[in-house]
Every structure is written in structure tokens, then in C-alpha cells.
Amino acid sequence: MAPTARPTVAQPLSPHLQIYRWTWTMAMSVFHRITGTALYGGSALVAIWLVALASGPAAYAWVAWFFGSWVGLLVLFAYTWVLMHHMLGGLRHFVWDFGVGLERGERLWLSRGTLIGSVALTVAIWALALILR
């Protein structure tokens, strides 16, 4: 018996974004990608600092002034958070690569832990830096 032809209807191949419910895991995945991209800018800041250091006292004085200003400190604080968040997100993915933490509750705990941990580490690093200053 020959198969019957079905009418062709344009159907999406995968569910549309409007169908998905926003979850912690999705949000942390997006933040992980954003922070990975932001690390390029932070690496440029480190390179600018190193070039200024190698260029002499005048260049270094200007960069030190900028990073010591409230705008510079805000940029450095944000860069610290980006670095910590991306690191913890990478560790979360590393744990998942071993097949650990894939259950619903564990995924939620790891995702929230990434955000909470990155904020806590950033504040701890800056508190320690300001105390030792």
C-alpha cells in the first residue's frame, strides 16, 4: 500500500522563544556568554596598564590616575565581577561535564550559586584590597 501524501504545512522546527519559560539556568548561560565577551575588554584594560607601565612614568601616571578615579574604580569593580562570574560559570559547566549536578534542584542551586558566589567573591576581593591598601 502506498503512503498517503500529507498536506504541507509550514511548521517551526523547534519551539519558539516565546514558548520557553525563563529559568535560572538559561539566565546564567546568557550571563556566561556576556561575561566571556566582556573579558575581552578587561584584557584590553590589563594590556593598557602593562603598556603604560613599560612606557614610563608619565604614561603610567595617567593610567594610574584613571584607574584611581571613581570611574576607573567602577570599571575595575565591574571587571572583577565579570571575571568571578565567568570563572564560576566555567566551574559549573566543568562539574556538569562529569555528569554531576544535572538534576533540576542541583541545576537551580548551581545557577543561583554562580550569581551569589560571584557577587560574594567580588565584594570579598575588594574588601580585602581596600583593607590591605
Asked whether the predicted pLDDT for residue 19 surpasses 80, the reply is no
Written as nine digits, the cell of 2 is: 502506498
pLDDT tier at 102, thresholds 50, 70, 90? very high
Instruction: Give the residue ranges of DSSP H helices in the chain.
Output: 24-55, 57-68, 70-97, 104-132
How far apart are alpha carbons 46 and 42 in whole angstroms? 6
Place of cell 519559560: 21
Mean pLDDT computed over every residue of the chain: 91
How far apart are alpha carbons 80 and 75 in whole angstroms? 9
- Letter for the amino acid at 106? E
**pTM of the complete model beyond 0.85:** no
Q: Which of 18-32, 72-86, 112-126 has the lowest mean pLDDT?
A: 18-32
Tell whether the torsion through CA atoms of 28, 34, 40 and 46 is positive or negative.
negative
Asked whether the predicted pLDDT for residue 89 surpasses 90, the reply is yes
Contact 106, 24 (CB under 8 A): no
pLDDT tier at 5, thresholds 50, 70, 90? low
